[in-house]
Amino acid sequence: MTKSFICIVCPRGCRVNVDDNMNITGNQCKRGESYVLTELTAPKRIITTTARTVFKQLPRVSVKTDVPIPKELIYDIMNIINGVVVDKPMAIGEVLISNILDTGSNVILTKSCLK
Ligand code: SF4
């Protein structure tokens, strides 16, 4: 049975198919092949969300993981982020939580949070 994936590595969004013999078609570059193989074995995602702050003028600030994390950890990582409060001015790109759950990924700000 052929499985279909939409490659999300770049905006082109190729539909990539994998048959039972692991023949991969539809990808327009090698990155699509790697993406599908990862999806089949150990899917990963970048988390983009917001974190609470103590600042009235910016009660929440956008954050993301700087590298993809295992999909099965999304819930646990969201719980950790939801428990954190930014209580000092921070610049875009600064690390809010380093090496979250030993994934090697940092949670970083994607917007400045300055008083
Ligand atoms: S297969 Fe290559 S060109 Fe197609 S969406 Fe993936 S990264 Fe982009």
**Residue 115 confidence (pLDDT):** 58
Q: From ligand 1's centre to the CA of 52, what distance in Å? A: 35
**Residue 11 confidence (pLDDT):** 96
**Residue 49 confidence (pLDDT):** 98
**Residue 114 confidence (pLDDT):** 79
What is the C-alpha separation between 104 and 97, in angstroms, rounded? 11
Q: Are 45 and 79 in contact (CB under 8 A)?
A: no
* Residue to mutate (ligand 1; options 31, 37, 38; most atoms within 8 A of CB): 31
Residues of the chain with CATH 3.10.530.10: 48-109
Q: From ligand 1's centre to the CA of 64, what distance in Å? A: 22
Q: What is the residue whose two structure tokens read 């994390």?
A: 69
Nearest CA to ligand 1 atom 2: 29
Could you tell me the fold of the domain covering 48-109? CPE0013-like fold (3.10.530)
* Residue to mutate (ligand 1; options 7, 33, 36, 37; most atoms within 8 A of CB): 7
The tens place of each residue's pLDDT in the chain, 115 residues long, gives 899 999 999 999 999 999 999 999 999 999 999 999 999 999 999 999 999 999 999 999 999 999 999 999 999 999 999 999 999 999 999 999 999 999 999 999 999 997 5
pTM: 0.81
What is the C-alpha separation between 92 and 63, in angstroms, rounded? 9
